[in-house]
Amino acid sequence: MTPLTRNIVVAVIIVIATLSFIGVRFFTNAGQLTTLTAAMEVSPQCTVLASPPGPEDLVIDHERGMAFVSATDRRAIAAGAENVRGGIYVIDLKGDPSSWALRPVTAHVPAAFQPHGLGLYIDEAGVRTLAVVNHTGDVDSVELFDVAADGILSHRATVKDQGMFALNDVQPVGHSAFYATNDHGSGSDFWNALSDV
């Protein structure tokens, strides 16, 4: 075998191995080639709640018996609707489940508000901060809200950073400090699509 032929064979093997790896990753991420087995039997007792369009995330304040829910009508946004404003809603979990309802608690600021992931921080004195991912336009941000005893939110700050470009979720670790996750590791559409594979 000549050196040229050997190099071609090696190159073809590398290309086939790379494409095979990408193909297996794609199918595994899509839920194929995977077997799920139940660790235990679960018999859920679900209660359907009327909600605004597009509930995305929820966080529970166990001490106060409240669940905060973020929601945005993403279908309306995808259809080209303008000025779609989402909201944060609270469910009082202390009552009978048949009485549960989503009550809006969003402050009027920021005016452009399309919430996604959210997280709750409670300090030793019981003071609460709700951090919320906000997708508006080309710039993502994290909105920080003070939480009143009844769950009503007061906007305190908007945090933006060039490292926050595809925000998914947020976990506050203080009243002005948080960890946030990006869906993708790059701001480039090409690299984002490749990372999905």
| pLDDT for res 139 | 83
Average pLDDT over residues 7-34: 87
* SS3 at position 54: coil
Q: Please check the confidence at residue 3 and state whether its pLDDT lies above 80.
A: yes
Average pLDDT over residues 178-188: 76
Those residues with Cβ within 8 angstroms of residue 52's Cβ, 6 or more apart along the chain or in another chain:
71, 73, 86, 87, 89, 102
Banded model confidence at residue 164, pLDDT cuts 50, 70, 90? confident
Mean pLDDT (the chain) is 87
Average pLDDT over residues 157-186: 88
Distance CA 164, CA 143 (A): 13
Ranking 11-20, 27-36, 106-115, 123-132 by mean pLDDT, the lowest is 27-36
| pLDDT for res 107 | 76
* pLDDT tens readout for residues 79-116: 988 888 999 999 999 988 888 889 999 978 888 899 99
Average pLDDT over residues 112-122: 94
Q: Please check the confidence at residue 188 and state whether its pLDDT lies above 70.
A: no
For residue 162, give both structure tokens.
């060039």
Q: In 3D, which of 118, 120, 101 has the Cα closest to residue 52?
A: 101
Banded model confidence at residue 126, pLDDT cuts 50, 70, 90? very high
Distance CA 127, CA 145 (A): 11
Beta-bridge partners for 130: 120, 145
For residue 109, give both structure tokens.
């600021």
Banded model confidence at residue 192, pLDDT cuts 50, 70, 90? low
For residue 135, give both structure tokens.
């997708």
For residue 40, give both structure tokens.
């235990």
pLDDT above 70 covers what percent of the chain? 89
Classify residue 31 by its DSSP letter.
T
* SS3 at position 78: helix
Q: How many C-beta neighbours within 10 Å does residue 151 have?
A: 20
Banded model confidence at residue 193, pLDDT cuts 50, 70, 90? low
CA quadruple 67, 178, 108, 79: dihedral sign: negative
